[in-house]
A and B are shown apart, each in its own frame.
Chain A
Amino acid sequence: MTIAEHEPSLERPSWTALLHEWVTSVDHKQIGIMYILMALVFLVIGGAEAMVMRFQLLWAESRAVPPDVFNQMMTMHGTTMIFFAAMPILAGVANYIVPLQIGARDMAFPRLNALGLWVTLFGGLLCYFSFATGGAPAIGWFAYAPLTEHTFSRSAATDFWIFGLLLSGVGSLSGAINLVTTVLTLRCPGMTLRKIPLYTWMAFWANVQILFALPPLTAALIMLLFDRLLGAHFFDAQAGGSPYLWQHLFWFFGHPEVYILVLPAFGMVSDVIPVFSRKVIFGYEFVAASTVAIAFISFGVWAHHMFTVGMSRTVDVYFAAASLLVGIPTGIKTFNWLATVYGGRWRMAAPLLFCLGFLSMFVIGGLTGIMLAVAPMDFQLSDSYFVVGHFHWVIIGGILMGLFAGLYYWYPKVTGRMYSERLARWQFWLLLIGFILTFGPMHIAGMLGMPRRIYTYPVDRGWELWNQVSSLGAFLQAPSYLIFVWNMIISLKNGALAGDDPWDAWTLEWATTSPPPLYNFETIPTARSRRPLWDLKHPDDPDWKYE
């Protein structure tokens, strides 16, 4: 047998060959990119659904959007953004970056990795297939029983929704098993658990959380399916079931889910801030340990979503106090990030800009979270527009800002090209101003007594002005996402060549070419400290002397 000499083809491969290559790929980088593309498509769809709602809420007693359509938009917006935009985009970035950061050649289970992607995508498609039944489900994204029972939601839309979430849950679980195994077994020589880059560390813990948080949701969804299709009575009060049980099962998943989304964003910020401040992260051990604390505490706070269901006073006080505890490790993280910027020499670029947006905005979402954790305040604020303002502030001001920082930071690595800084700044300011205008007034409307999930509101309540500002903010915010997508596309062609290490950064992904070859590293690198590239660039003053 002879080994054929491969002439590198100068022709562009046909699109069918390309499609075949991507669809059958088990390369963690291609899978990562496909996760991100999938998520961006669903982000735009979920955003369009939000626009329909904001349009309807412009005027009191507006009849522009019928109630059932509004309720479907509300349900699908939440479901899409959590399960088919936020989860896949974070899974995609982790897929791409984590093996590079730990000096590995791929994930531990490449074929399982591909399975995770396609199952997640089919879950999303199945969920949207519900529209073919005559309309999407109108049950809200946390789908409180018994509204989801066959008696109250007769169309098969709810069944498609359940199947979609079940399937994408399998995708998330297999992805999590893969990532956890990868980080535990495939680290390059010298990279002990205490020398892992912070992004990888936090993505790791988010995936550990997925392992424990998703099974209760999966179980609850199957129980609901049994109720709907096989005549079981898990959540049917009239036959001795308990709607209240659904709430416990859902939020046992639902609250850790928040940290599943936010921890990777914390990780991105923890990598970007030091590089752009030109300073090592302040208090690595504390930032790392507080991550573990958040991961553990987050499993003991779920019922703070349920303060109004009439639990006993003792239980209320326990869940309130436990929820407040989350503020401590989160505070520690914030202070360490600030201390990293402090005394540094920052240079402005999109990744840092979004990190500063993150730092200034996330703290507000955190503090309104403190207010909601205080049980008696929650009696007033729960299920009001204050809550909608709060969690969007965390998701956009925290998760999304951190995510954009990460996406701009790694864009040169993934594509080999620099993005347009000018477009990135347009995006940032439109997003920041639009987002403050959208979600700020929601806090006020909530304190003025406006409940969430209403398709319209009476004229005399004094909520119209706040809703109009919210809607205008939403219309301002919408183009910022399109600018981002445009920037990603146009820079593939027009961007300047990035080189291996455009940011003069310190972690291993910057030690290989941009984009990295299929095998990532020609020789497996070694790490002697948390910043292996710093050691290379400063042989006179390496990090390992201080760790």
Chain B
Amino acid sequence: MNGLALLADGAGSAQNLSIFHPASPSAESIRSLFILVLAITGAIFLVVEGVLLYSIVRFHRRAAETTEPPQVYGSMPIEIAWTAAPMLIVFVLALILTRTEFEVRVNPDRPPPGSKPLYVTVIGHQWWWEYVYDKYDGQDLGFITANELHVPAGEDGVPRPVYLTLESADVCHSFWVPRLAGKTDLIPGRTNHMWFQTSQQGLFLGQCAEYCGTQHAHMLLRVNVDSPGEFQNWLDNQKQPASSGASVREGRDAFLSQSCVNCHRVRGTIALGSYAPDLTHLMSRQTLASGVVPNSREELRKWVIDPRQTKQGCLMPAFGLSEQQVDQIVNYLVTLK
């Protein structure tokens, strides 16, 4: 059990991704099941290793013994006993896992009564996450953001479950934030669902768990669980089109005249690409490149000059922009709050 204590150590900090420190009912169910199964398998382990050790110590050949030991060919009652015991264990395990399975996998069309559910469609791309906010508390949202998921925490006895619809734009990916839920794959041509719910505010980390190519290692996940008030503010901001006006015109023109628009979207402009992250509210995100570096002016500048310096093998190429063009574009990007 030392290991367990160790695993739960440092819990509460954002960097903790231990499955033994769940913050959502489904992750909690899995942890309880895990501890039960650990106890059962631990007992089997002790019995087997105990008998083995005893046999090694007790039954070595002594110098005086030259004859063969008694030959025992088997025993029906013993065989029946050690066939029945594992059968019983398997039967019990099957019952328990069925219960947990039904707790963990729920029907997204039936949120608990009195709750305020959030529905988000997650689309996996090589190597970033696209989030389409569908519906919150019965209201249609219909905006798109990327890489950092914001969800509301349950408060005052009102649960705010989050239902994710999982799809992929290219290859298989898997959505895994260990403290919130087990993973579910994003498979091209299939639509999957998963669910979590928490009343614990803060940042929950995870990453893609299905090998998806060069930068699989840097397809990181960040889930911000906000208070319902903060979440509402965030929603209201995200629903706005991008900042405009005379002060940003120069940068915006530079941005819109480059090939940025083929892949990126900035709502309220002619940039309507859907191949790369939506930039409408880029500066409301804490990180760049799906969680690889902090979203600062310097990192943004480095990224615009040559993304592959930050994320080797990423699909956005360097465009060979002039210093002036880079400055104009970065000046524009930092206004997208």
A contact set with B: CB distance below 8 Å? 66-68, 71, 138, 140, 144, 146-147, 151-152, 237-238, 241-244, 277-280, 282-286, 308-310, 313, 316-317, 320-321, 324-325, 327-328, 331-332, 334-336, 338-339, 341-348, 356, 359-360, 363-364, 367-368, 370-371, 374-384, 444, 447-458, 460-462, 538, 541, 543, 546-547
Contact = CB atoms under 8 A, between A and B. Distances in A.
Contact of A374 (B37, B71, B216): B37
A379 B20 contact: no
Contact of B7 (A316, A380, A447, A541): A447
Contact of A146 (B41, B170, B216, B313): B170
Interface residues of B, number: 95
Minimum-distance CB pairs A-B, first 5? A379-B182, A449-B17, A237-B189, A454-B217, A310-B192
A383 B211 CA distance: 9
A284 B214 CA distance: 51
Contacts of B27: 380
A140 B103 CA distance: 33
B49 interface: yes
Contacts, number: 286
Given A313-B102, A374-B97, A454-B217, A449 B52 contact: no
Interface in B186-226: 187-190, 192-193, 205-218, 220
A455 B33 CA distance: 31
Contacts of A334: 48
A130 to B, nearest CB: 17
Interface stretch (B77-85, B113-121, B227-235, B261-269): B77-85
A278 B74 contact: no
Given A152-B171, A367-B45, 4 more contacts: A283-B79, A321-B94, A347-B61, A359-B52
B73 A284 contact: yes
B48 A67 contact: no
Interface of A: prevailing SS = helix
22 contacts: A67-B313, A71-B213, A283-B74, A283-B78, A286-B83, A309-B187, A320-B97, A343-B70, A345-B69, A346-B56, A356-B52, A371-B34, A371-B41, A380-B34, A384-B209, A444-B3, A449-B178, A452-B209, A453-B211, A455-B217, A460-B15, A461-B205
B158 interface: no
Nearest to B96: A374
B22 to A, nearest CB: 9
A376 B3 CA distance: 21
A280 B230 CA distance: 73
B94 A317 contact: yes
A151 B61 CA distance: 65
Contact of A367 (B34, B44, B51, B209): B44
A283 B83 CA distance: 12
B110 interface: no
A341 B74 contact: no
A348 B74 contact: no
A451 B54 CA distance: 38
Contact of B182 (A68, A243, A380, A457): A380
Contact of B210 (A144, A279, A327, A364): A144
A391 to B, nearest CB: 15
Contacts of B79: 283, 286, 332, 336
Nearest to B102: A313
Contact of A377 (B33, B75, B210): B33
Nearest to B206: A449
Contact of B98 (A66, A317, A367, A378): A317
A376 B101 contact: yes
Contacts of A282: 72-75
B98 A238 contact: no
B100 A376 contact: yes
Interface in B14-68: 15-20, 27, 29-30, 33-34, 37-38, 41, 44-45, 48-49, 51-52, 54-56, 59-62, 65, 68
Contact of A331 (B15, B49, B82): B82
A370 B69 contact: no
B279 interface: no
Given A146-B188, A327-B90, A371-B37, A356 B217 contact: no
B94 A147 contact: no
A285 to B, nearest CB: 7
B152 to A, nearest CB: 23
B184 to A, nearest CB: 6
A379 B174 contact: no
Contacts of A461: 15, 17, 205
Contact of A449 (B18, B90, B192): B18
B87 interface: yes
A310 B29 contact: no
B289 to A, nearest CB: 12
B20 A447 contact: yes
A360 B56 CA distance: 11
B312 A66 contact: yes
B172 interface: yes
Given A67-B312, A147-B211, A280-B73, A374 B184 contact: no
A484 B156 CA distance: 65
B73 A331 contact: no
Nearest to B17: A449
Given A147-B212, A286-B74, A324-B94, A382 B183 contact: yes
A507 to B, nearest CB: 16
B51 A338 contact: yes
A344 B55 CA distance: 8
Contacts of B94: 317, 320-321, 324
Nearest to A283: B74
Residue in A138, A285, A339 with the greatest tally of chain B CB atoms within 10 Å: A339
Given A146-B171, A360-B49, A308 B82 contact: no
Residue in B18, B74, B78 with the greatest tally of chain A CB atoms within 10 Å: B74
B86 interface: yes
Contacts of A283: 73-75, 78-79
Nearest to A337: B52
Contact of A364 (B45, B86, B193, B209): B45
Given A138-B213, A244-B190, A327-B90, A377 B60 contact: no
Contacts of A546: 71, 73
A140 B171 CA distance: 13
B216 A360 contact: no
Nearest to A376: B100
A298 to B, nearest CB: 16
Given A279-B69, A376-B33, A138 B61 contact: no
B104 interface: yes
Nearest to A284: B74
B185 interface: yes
Nearest to B291: A458
Contact of A335 (B34, B37, B82): B82
A214 B121 CA distance: 38
Contacts of A360: 49, 52
Nearest to B60: A346
B181 interface: yes
Contacts of A332: 79, 82-83, 86
B249 interface: no
Contacts of B294: none
A347 B60 contact: yes
B337 interface: no
Contacts of B100: 376
Contacts of A371: 34, 37-38, 41
Given A242-B189, A343-B69, A448-B18, A379 B217 contact: no
Contacts of B205: 449, 461
Residue in A348, A452, A458 with the greatest tally of chain B CB atoms within 10 Å: A458
A462 B20 CA distance: 14
A238 to B, nearest CB: 7
Nearest to A67: B214
A347 B65 CA distance: 11
Contacts of B297: none
